[in-house]
């Protein structure tokens, strides 16, 4: 029993000593953990403060050695102003986030259909400068982890290479939408003997708008050449070497990411491919160029520009206070009738100052355009009335010459036109004049950023399609040519166009000539084609065309019943027939000569 008691006493003493050690260890660990938490909170507060403010205390650290990259910690360094939130990663010293603060992107899943608008995120872009060292090994800046030294509005990212040499990316905010960066090296000649490095920029254009098919049309390369003297664009990319490129732009429907080089890009190539796999991206862009190594070093200045495609902004934007126009406005694809689109833009901006909603501005613009073109339309209706009055006589000529030579019948028809003072081509001229108007409107509405996100009636965005019904099932042929929704504005426009076509063909179409196609069939086919063509296009355009055709229908009714007296027109035409024949114009003489030559050729063919 005594032995057992001694054993229990020793055991108790052992447990007490172990307990004291454990309690001491726990107290010590608790203090260390508390200290670590306080340090982490301090770092977190500093990080949050750096994201909310541009100012950040300068970090003084030794540049990272090339052989210790894996041990370095990757950080995101923020830049910010009133328009942009930008993040630069220490991995490769390249962009990892660009958000336009005052704009939102379309989000189908969100009830408000809005989300933050990013032109650059961590997944969609890659920027790299590469060169070979003297052993033939390729060094890529994307693989280097840089040490940041951060100041107000700017930061210097430094990475050591070898033998005391290093490369720096120096970033600085410029203007409202620009970030300048300078690429510099020191001691590069100890690493490489090459004369050029290679710049590679890849970017997947993020889908930002409601209408993907329309946004794809306006997503492309645009660039300026030869000291901003020329501009060009490519929808598929360019594979041949270009002249000196001043800036290259990944242009989307309403926003552009523009990379500009102070000394220009040389030996540049670009490619773009449509992203078929995901709805997140539109196209993949790849751009390469050389980076000259002068006297053994790189010293090149570039600028990133992240711009909304507002015409007034782009026309005057000079981020570096350079007086030279950089032609950024070329990123808005107004086309060959640019001046007419600018005229529409001026009207829109003028009416917008009065607080008029966008839909009603389009309504008023339609009336303005119709007033300008009304004299042309009036002449067109007069010509249609003359052709209708001549129809009985033309039918008589056709009946008399039913079995005659077609050319002889054509000559008789032309003689009747000449005596009556009717030009059969006069009705075509007003239609030709209206083609530039139609084309310019087709370019204006999907590219006017002032209408982006503006709702009207059932349309929630006048720059995208309107939809009264849509379905998720993919129907191969229908989805390709029509889409997965029904646009009511397009449907109403096509119905109005069909009514207008029915009313106008009876007054403006000449009688059908033997051997000539019936153009009325084509005119009736157009409304059907527009149902498929415009279903996924801007609702503002379909609304304009709807109002325009309703006005056309009203004009036909007014002109036919109140402005045109067919009896007077008929009397005037009969009076023209009695007048001495006027000397044929050069055009009429040429037409007659051509007919005579055709008759002679026909006679030879018969023999």
User: Could you give the CA distance from residue 439 to residue 433 in angstroms, rounded to a whole number?
Assistant: 11
Same domain, 329 and 347: no
How many domains, the chain? Answer: 2
DSSP 91: B
pLDDT at residue 53 in the model? 39
Sign of CA dihedral 292, 205, 304, 77: negative
pLDDT at residue 583 in the model? 59
Domain closes at, from 312, 333, 354? 333
Same domain, 243 and 147: yes
Same domain, 329 and 349: no
CATH code for the domain in which residue 109 is found: 2.70.98.90
Domain residues for the domain of 95 are: 66-333
Name the nearest CA neighbour of 183 among 172, 194, 195: 172
DSSP 459: B
Q: Give me 306's structure tokens.
A: 């992240």
pLDDT digits (tens, 9 = 90+) for 318-356: 766 566 678 899 999 988 888 889 999 999 999 999 999
Same domain, 321 and 365: no
pLDDT at residue 235 in the model? 80
Same domain, 360 and 473: yes
Name the nearest CA neighbour of 204 among 143, 106, 316, 281: 281
Which residue ranges of the chain lie beneath pLDDT 50? Answer: 1-8, 11, 15, 22, 25-27, 29-71, 508-509, 511, 515
pLDDT at residue 156 in the model? 93
pLDDT at residue 56 in the model? 36
Q: In what order do the strands lie in the sheet with 94-106?
A: 76-80, 84-89, 94-106, 114-120
pLDDT digits (tens, 9 = 90+) for 94-103: 999 999 999 9
pLDDT digits (tens, 9 = 90+) for 239-259: 766 778 999 999 999 999 999
| Residue 223 within a domain | yes
pLDDT at residue 588 in the model? 60
Name the nearest CA neighbour of 508 among 529, 528, 492, 523: 523
pLDDT at residue 393 in the model? 72
pLDDT at residue 4 in the model? 38
What's the half-sphere exposure (Cβ side, CA atoms, 13 Å) at 439? 14
The answer to whether 117 and 102 are in contact (CB under 8 A) is no
User: Please, which residues have CB within 8 angstroms of residue 343's CB and are 6 or more apart in sequence?
Assistant: none
Same domain, 353 and 312: no
Same domain, 538 and 403: yes
């Amino acid at each position: 029993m005594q032995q057992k008691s001694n054993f229990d006493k020793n055991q108790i003493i052992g447990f007490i000593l172990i307990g004291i050690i454990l309690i001491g260890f726990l107290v010590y660990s608790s203090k260390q953990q508390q200290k670590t938490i306080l340090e982490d909170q301090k770092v977190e507060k500093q990080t949050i403060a750096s994201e909310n403010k541009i100012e950040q205390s300068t970090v003084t650290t030794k540049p990272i050695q090339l052989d210790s990259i894996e041990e370095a910690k990757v950080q995101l360094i923020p830049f910010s102003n009133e328009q942009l939130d930008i993040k630069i990663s220490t991995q490769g010293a390249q962009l990892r986030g660009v958000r336009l603060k005052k704009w939102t992107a379309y989000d189908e899943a969100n009830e408000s259909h809005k989300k933050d608008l990013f032109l650059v995120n961590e997944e969609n872009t890659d920027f790299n400068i590469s060169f070979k060292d003297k052993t033939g090994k390729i060094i890529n800046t994307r693989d280097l982890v840089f040490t940041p030294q951060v100041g107000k509005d700017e930061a210097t990212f430094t990475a050591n290479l070898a033998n005391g040499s290093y490369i720096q990316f120096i970033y600085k905010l410029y203007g409202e939408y620009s970030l300048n960066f300078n690429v510099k090296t020191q001691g590069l000649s100890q690493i490489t003997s090459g004369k050029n490095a290679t710049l590679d920029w890849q970017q997947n254009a993020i889908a930002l708008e409601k209408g993907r098919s329309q946004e794809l049309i306006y997503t492309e390369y645009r660039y300026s050449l030869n000291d901003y003297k020329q501009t060009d664009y490519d929808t598929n990319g360019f594979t041949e070497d270009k002249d000196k490129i001043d800036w290259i732009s990944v242009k989307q429907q309403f926003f552009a990411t523009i990379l500009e080089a102070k000394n220009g890009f040389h030996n540049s190539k670009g490619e773009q491919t449509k992203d078929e796999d995901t709805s997140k991206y539109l196209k993949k862009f790849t751009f390469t160029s050389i980076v000259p190594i002068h006297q053994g070093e790189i010293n090149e200045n570039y600028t990133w520009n992240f711009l909304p495609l507002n015409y007034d902004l782009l026309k005057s934007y000079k981020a570096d206070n350079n007086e030279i126009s950089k032609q950024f406005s070329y990123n808005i694809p107004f086309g060959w009738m640019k001046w007419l689109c600018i005229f529409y833009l001026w009207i829109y901006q003028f009416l917008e100052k009065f607080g008029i909603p966008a839909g009603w501005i389009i309504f008023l613009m339609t009336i303005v355009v119709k007033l300008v073109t009304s004299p042309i339309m009036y002449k067109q209706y007069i010509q249609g009335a003359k052709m209708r009055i001549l129809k009985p006589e033309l039918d008589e000529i056709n009946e008399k010459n039913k079995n005659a030579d077609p050319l002889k019948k054509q000559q008789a028809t032309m003689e009747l036109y000449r005596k009556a003072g009717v030009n059969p081509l006069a009705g075509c001229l007003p239609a030709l004049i209206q083609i530039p108007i139609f084309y310019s409107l087709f370019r204006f509405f999907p590219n006017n950023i002032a209408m982006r996100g503006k709702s009207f009636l059932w349309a929630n965005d006048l720059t995208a399609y309107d939809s009264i019904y849509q379905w998720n099932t993919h129907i191969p042929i229908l989805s390709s040519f029509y889409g997965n929704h029904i646009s009511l504005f397009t449907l109403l426009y096509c119905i109005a166009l069909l009514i207008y076509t029915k009313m106008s063909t009876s007054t403006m179409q000449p009688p059908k000539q033997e051997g000539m196609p019936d153009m009325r069939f084509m005119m009736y086919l157009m409304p059907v084609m527009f149902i498929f063509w415009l279903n996924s296009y801007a609702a503002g355009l379909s609304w304009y065309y709807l109002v325009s055709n309703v006005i056309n229908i009203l004009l036909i009714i007014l002109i036919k019943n109140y402005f045109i007296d067919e009896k007077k027109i008929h009397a005037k035409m009969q009076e023209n027939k009695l007048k001495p024949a006027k000397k044929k114009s050069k055009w009429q003489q040429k037409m007659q000569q051509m007919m005579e030559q055709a008759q002679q050729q026909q006679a030879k063919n018969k023999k």
